[in-house]
Structure 1
Amino acid sequence: MTRGGLLILALACGPAFAGLLVDADSDWKEGEVVMPPAVEEARLRAFDVGASSPNRFFVDEGSVSVGEDGVVRYALVVRTAGGAENVTFEGIRCATGERRIYASGRPEGNWVAMKKSEWQAIGGNAYNRPRAALAWDYLCDGPAPPRNRDHALQLLKQRRDHYSSGGR
């Protein structure tokens, strides 16, 4: 079976298998990563993670980009019921079902790069559930990323619910 065939088979079997793939494109190289502007309340778009959680999840629409490398980058905001907030700048590779956290946001609006930032498989566990929802239910169409930033923003407005229905 070809590498492409393995990718399609793994994605059809579900997101848990997608991360087990060897990189679908061995020549792939990540493009330059540029930190977005500070998160702004007015640009936050809530999204549903498809599981009960006391937390609320948002993407800062001003931070969304789709690189020539196929990586969808965005600022993720997680707010707890107790009022705590966690802000991270992240990326998703639809082609491999992986995610990466580039930086952590600080209350004053600046970004601090993560000391250890590597591509990791997206799982459906509680910690990764917002990333899985973004990848499987909003941003990725199988191994294909959104066409561009406008397309990504359009997708964020509509939930496809592939993950919870067993699709992918």
Structure 2
Amino acid sequence: MKQLWTVPLALGMAVCALPSHAQSVWQENEVPLPGPLQRSALIPFDMSTRTELQFSVDASSISVGSDRVLRYVLVARSNSGAENILYEGLRCETGEARNYARWNPSEQRWVPYSGTTPWRPLSGVAASLPAARLAYLAFCEGRTPTEPMERLLADLRRGGKNVGLR
């Protein structure tokens, strides 16, 4: 019987993951770049931490691949209006995230990161706090992506799972 272990996250949730020898069988799909940002589809979310940035996700970009990676476009906007727009992936199974590309506004195109960016944990020094927050609010149900997509989007718009539901 395979043992499971738990990775605690900084935002008060835990994601269970299989031991590393079981993960070696997993293969990530080829990742096509998304279309341009759909500003009309942006859903803001609260980081619940002190930050000068406002975060949102392009709802039209959210997808779950056959490799069980949830991919999405993340927008981080400063009070001065400067934006970082990233295409990211989240593995609920392992509690990890990675970046695929960034939007270059002057060229109006996605620029893939050179080489392969590593998967980084949702907790610890190299943590991706926006990805961890999205996992907690709406993207993950334990070790699996939230399904169906309508439920994930409803949770995100509501500000979290079961918020305001009685």
- What TM-score comes out, normalization by structure 1 length? 0.80
1:165 corresponding residue in structure 2 = none
Greater Cα offset, 82-91 or 20-29: 20-29
Q: 1:58 to 1:150 in 2, by over 3 A?
A: same
Q: 1:129 to 1:76 in 2, by over 3 A?
A: same
2:102 corresponding residue in structure 1 = 104
Deviation of 1:134 after TM superposition, in Å, equals 0.6
Q: Secondary structure at the match of 1:102?
A: strand
Deviation of 1:144 after TM superposition, in Å, equals 1.2
Equivalent residue letter for 1:111: W
Counterpart of 1:15 (choices 6, 9, 12) is 9
1:42-121 pair list within 5 angstroms: 42-107=40-105, 108-115=107-114, 116-121=116-121
Write the deviation string for residues 15-37 of structure 1: whole angstroms up to 9, x where unpaired: 26759963653311111212111
In the aligned structure 2, how far is the partner of 1:95 from the partner of 1:77? 24
- What TM-score comes out, normalization by structure 2 length? 0.81
Deviation of 1:146 after TM superposition, in Å, equals 2.0
Q: Aligned pair count?
A: 155
Identity of aligned residues (%): 36
Greater Cα offset, 100-109 or 148-157: 148-157
More strand by share: 2
In the aligned structure 1, how far is the partner of 2:16 from the partner of 2:104? 30
> Which protein, 1 or 2, shows the higher relative CO under an 8 Å CA cutoff with sep ≥ 6?
1
